[in-house]
Amino acid sequence: MSENLLKELIDNNAQYAKGEAVHRSAYPGKQPIRPAKRTAVVACMDARMDVEDMLGLQTGDAHIIRNAGGVVTEDALRCLIISHHLLDTKDFLVVHHTRCGMLAFSDELLRMGLEGDAKSVEVLRGATKRQFEPCGCSSVSPSVFHAFRGDLEPLDGEATPSQIERLEWDVRRSLSRILNHPWLPTEGSDKITARGFIYDVDTGKLQEVSYPGPMGGL
């Protein structure tokens, strides 16, 4: 990513965090299909994140790919490959956020709860503060939920150092999946770049995650 583009996005975010609107929501008229900033963003589906607003992106600037956790999954990779090779994007951003629900469960816990394991249901009800209802059956899909590694934390818990560390681990794993994918070149005239961030839902500010670095254990 060019330093000019990075500075622009960080400056836009600083304005947003101060309560100043940067994104223009009005219909802009006819736009080309290729993103103007040649950028794609993978971000969490959390309702407290408005990607265009927090980065100051305008309609037509970037591809926005969202899922639970902002994880670079197989489908996210599919989108990024299409975005790059067919629609000419070159700079990728991965954005996780504090207080993320993906910190509050493990894949196995959620799977067992859905299948009807009584202890798992009890834990999930306590974590979510809602009447978690088991489905009482097993399924092969989804095969994984991509919950974040590390000790489980309360749903929507305060942003502690251990929470930030777990978020950083997953951002780095997502960056690694991008930067080591055989169909996303990191050298030559068609190379892509990828950088990762954590968005603080309490302040509106972005913090970049260093890469490479620790990705967490089992």
**pTM for the predicted model, two decimal places:** 0.95
Q: At 28, is the pLDDT very low, low, confident or very high (cuts 50, 70, 90)?
A: very high
Instruction: Please state, in angstroms and as integers, the Cα–Cα distance from residue 106 to each residue in 64, 114, 144, 153, following that order.
Output: 26, 12, 10, 10
* Mean confidence (pLDDT) of the chain: 96
Q: At 2, is the pLDDT very low, low, confident or very high (cuts 50, 70, 90)?
A: confident
> What confidence score (pLDDT) does residue 1 get?
80
What is the percent of the chain with per-residue pLDDT over 70, rounded to a whole number?
100
Task: Let me know the angle formed at the C-alpha of 102 by 101 and 107, rounded to the nearest 5 degrees.
Answer: 130
Domain assignments of the chain as residue spans, ordered by start: 3-26+34-102+147-209, 106-144
CATH of domain 3-26+34-102+147-209: 3.40.1050.10
Report, as an integer, the average pLDDT of 182-189.
Answer: 97
Q: At 43, is the pLDDT very low, low, confident or very high (cuts 50, 70, 90)?
A: very high
> For 6-10, 38-42, 126-130, 172-176, which range has the lowest pLDDT when averaged over its residues?
126-130
Residue 217 scores a pLDDT above 80 = no
Residue 218 scores a pLDDT above 90 = no
Q: What secondary structure does DSSP assign to 73-136, as a single string?
A: -HHHHHHHHHHHHHH---EEEEEEETT-GGGS--HHHHHHHHHT-HHHHHHHHHHHTS------
Residues 48-94 have pLDDT tens digits of 999 999 999 999 999 999 999 999 999 999 999 999 999 999 999 99
Residue 104 scores a pLDDT above 80 = yes
